């Protein structure tokens, strides 16, 4: 058995076009050395090869699931799209439960989630399908609470999507509130953001400016000081655009008094879980006590979500499409072999090297240990492209020196999180920070007897501008796969779902039968 370190460079794709390419423009000397000197393969990580619908971008959740599973794992969006197309969606058991609750309680229906066609966290087609169901059933008092994207889509694109919803809007179907996703979909436990959006959903207090940590470093809109009753949704968003505030950072605002109240039903329509958990925890009274004690939670709510957000939530939030766990993923298989493993990253990507790498399970396998390095908690990391990488690097090198673990996984978040800023200058600096970290980590790993594998989950930072506009979304580009410390020959091209079988072969461990993908190592 040979020890192995897996480094996942989040949002680090391959782009032969050097323009607007932060990796190429940074000209990272150590990274370039690795690519030139060590076995290298380019991996496809898009669409059907990672289980997402054709035309939809992949994401960190999907990428880490594929890396750890060693097979194609069909994602929830696939199942939802197929159900809508076949009309089976409209017969889902959750709709029956919602109708029963509505009949018994007489409450309203609230649809809550991301307005986007990026296909990363949610899709407008799913919102439209929900509205079609409500229309078929003649549901009255239906309210939309829309989180605006601007991250997996162009920064100012919400108005185009809102037009697609207009045919469904009337006196009984209304947009009740909007909020930028940086506030409503925070996952770094910056609770003042989540609480601000939550209170807007409930319409329980007058809007106030968001309390922002690291003052002056986050570009949030200031328009929340305006009395919302005098504006419609379009005017409010246009005013933010005029102030230079994109969709992602628009302050929460409500446009009617219909907040979520006692006896109502709620459908959270994001299909990706990680950026909805904090919000749902407030509804379930599972937030930290210092936060929850100041929060009002309506009584007798029926809560549902398109997919399962957390194993602990399912008893209280009914999923339309329960998740399927890939059996004997990388972490589980190593554990059954009695081997030790360690997962490390900063807060922004903690769920990815744990929950998603383990196949979407809230489980720590026997022999698995973890270390979470706190993130800075910024909505936009352009001002701090180093993020918490120095601390991650120091801690990882300390763990490697101990030589206690057979398998170590580290996510380096900068490529994705800074890539989402669309700021090329910041992206270049982020790449330089990653290059410095890689030099230290690889050197330490080799000295401690580890084989080092470097790959990525999807592209981002290698394409930062599109036709003069900041490009904040992921890309369809291939990602790198390098092996340092073993003289092997790799297939020139492969797929992200081949990573786990390759890692096992490098470690000298047979793969489980459930891992249907093949190793990237060429047999001689």
pLDDT band at 342 (very low <50, low <70, confident <90, very high): very high
Is there a catalytic annotation at residue 519? no
C-alpha span between 199 and 185 (Å, rounded)? 14
Residue 146 corresponds to which tokens in the numbers above? 């829309």
191-203: per-residue pLDDT in tens?
Answer: 999 999 999 999 9
pLDDT, mean of residues 26-53: 96
Residue 293 corresponds to which tokens in the numbers above? 């004690």
Task: Report yes or no: 450 and 408 within 8 Å, Cβ to Cβ.
Answer: yes
pLDDT, mean of residues 452-477: 96
pLDDT band at 275 (very low <50, low <70, confident <90, very high): very high
Task: Single out the residue of 8, 13, 43 nearest to residue 409, CA to CA.
Answer: 8
What pLDDT is recorded for position 209? Answer: 38
Question: What CATH number belongs to 77-321?
Answer: 3.40.1450.10
- Is the pLDDT assigned to residue 128 strictly greater than 50? yes
Question: In residues, how long is the chain?
Answer: 524
pLDDT averaged over the chain? Answer: 93
Q: CATH 3.40.720.10 residue ranges in the chain? A: 4-73+325-507
393-442: per-residue pLDDT in tens?
Answer: 999 999 999 999 999 999 999 999 999 999 999 999 999 999 999 999 99
Residue 385 corresponds to which tokens in the numbers above? 């492209």
CB atoms within 10 A of CB 85: 11
pLDDT, mean of residues 74-78: 86
What pLDDT is recorded for position 217? Answer: 39
What pLDDT is recorded for position 257? Answer: 86
Task: Report yes or no: 161 and 116 within 8 Å, Cβ to Cβ.
Answer: yes
Query: Residue 427 has what DSSP assignment?
Result: H
pLDDT, mean of residues 365-381: 95
C-alpha span between 459 and 416 (Å, rounded)? 8
Radius of gyration of the chain (CA): 23
| Active-site residue, from 60, 76, 177, 335 | 60
3-state DSSP assignment of residue 128: helix
Straight-line distance from the first to the last Cα atom of the chain, in angstroms, rounded to the nearest whole number:
21
Q: CATH 3.40.1450.10 residue ranges in the chain? A: 77-321
pTM beyond 0.95: the answer is no
Tell me, which fold does domain 4-73+325-507 have in CATH?
Alkaline Phosphatase, subunit A (3.40.720)
CB atoms within 10 A of CB 447: 11
pLDDT, mean of residues 150-168: 96
Distance of CA 397 to the CA centre of its chain: 27
Identify the burial level of 215 via C-beta atoms within 10 angstroms of its C-beta, where 0-12 means exposed, 13-18 middle and 19 or more buried. Answer: exposed
C-alpha span between 64 and 47 (Å, rounded)? 15
């Amino acid at each position: 058995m040979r020890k192995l370190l897996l480094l996942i460079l989040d949002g680090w794709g391959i782009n032969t076009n050097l323009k607007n390419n932060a990796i190429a423009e940074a000209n990272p000397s150590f990274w370039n050395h690795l690519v030139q000197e060590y076995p290298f393969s380019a991996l496809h990580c898009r669409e059907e090869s990672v289980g997402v619908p054709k035309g939809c971008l992949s994401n960190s959740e999907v990428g880490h699931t594929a890396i750890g599973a060693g097979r194609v794992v069909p994602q929830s969006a696939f199942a939802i799209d197929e159900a809508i197309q076949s009309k089976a969606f409209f017969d889902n058991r959750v709709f029956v439960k919602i109708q029963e609750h509505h009949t018994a309680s007489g409450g309203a229906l609230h649809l809550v989630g991301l307005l986007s066609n990026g296909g990363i966290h949610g899709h407008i087609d799913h919102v439209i399908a929900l509205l079609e169901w409500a229309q078929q059933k003649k549901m009255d008092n239906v309210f939309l609470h829309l989180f605006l994207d601007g991250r997996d889509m162009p920064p100012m694109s919400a108005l185009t999507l809102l037009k697609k919803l207009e045919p469904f809007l009337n006196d009984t179907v209304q947009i009740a509130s909007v909020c930028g996703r940086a506030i409503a979909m925070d996952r770094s436990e910056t609770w003042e953001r989540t609480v601000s959006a939550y209170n807007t959903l409930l319409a329980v207090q007058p809007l106030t400016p968001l309390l922002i940590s690291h003052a002056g470093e986050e570009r949030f809109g200031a328009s929340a000081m305006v009395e919302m009753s005098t504006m419609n949704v379009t005017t409010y968003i246009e005013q933010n655009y005029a102030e230079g505030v994109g969709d992602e950072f628009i302050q929460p605002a409500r446009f009617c008094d219909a907040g979520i109240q006692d006896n109502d039903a709620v459908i959270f329509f994001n299909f990706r879980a990680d950026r909805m958990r904090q919000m749902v925890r407030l509804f379930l009274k599972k937030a930290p006590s210092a936060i929850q004690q100041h929060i009002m939670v309506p009584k007798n709510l029926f809560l549902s979500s398109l997919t399962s957000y957390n194993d602990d939530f399912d008893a209280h939030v009914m999923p339309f499409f329960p998740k399927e766990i890939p059996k004997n993923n990388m972490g589980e298989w190593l554990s059954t072999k009695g081997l030790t493993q360690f997962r490390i990253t900063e807060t922004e990507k903690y769920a990815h090297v744990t929950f998603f790498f383990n196949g979407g399970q809230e489980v720590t396998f026997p022999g698995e240990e973890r270390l979470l390095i706190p993130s800075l908690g910024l909505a936009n990391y352009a001002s701090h492209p180093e993020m918490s990488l120095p601390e991650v690097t120091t801690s990882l090198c300390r763990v490697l020196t101990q030589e206690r673990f057979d398998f170590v996984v580290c996510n380096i978040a900068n490529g994705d999180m800074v890539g989402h800023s669309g700021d090329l200058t910041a992206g270049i600096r982020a790449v330089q920070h990653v290059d410095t970290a890689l030099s230290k980590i690889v050197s330490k790993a080799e000295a401690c007897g580890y084989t080092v594998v470097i790959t990525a989950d999807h592209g981002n930072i290698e394409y930062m501008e599109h036709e003069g506009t900041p490009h904040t979304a992921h890309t369809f580009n291939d990602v790198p796969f390098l092996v340092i410390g073993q003289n092997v020959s790799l297939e020139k091209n492969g797929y992200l779902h081949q990573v786990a079988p390759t890692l096992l072969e490098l470690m000298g461990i047979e793969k489980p039968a459930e891992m249907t993908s093949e190793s990237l190592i060429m047999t001689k």
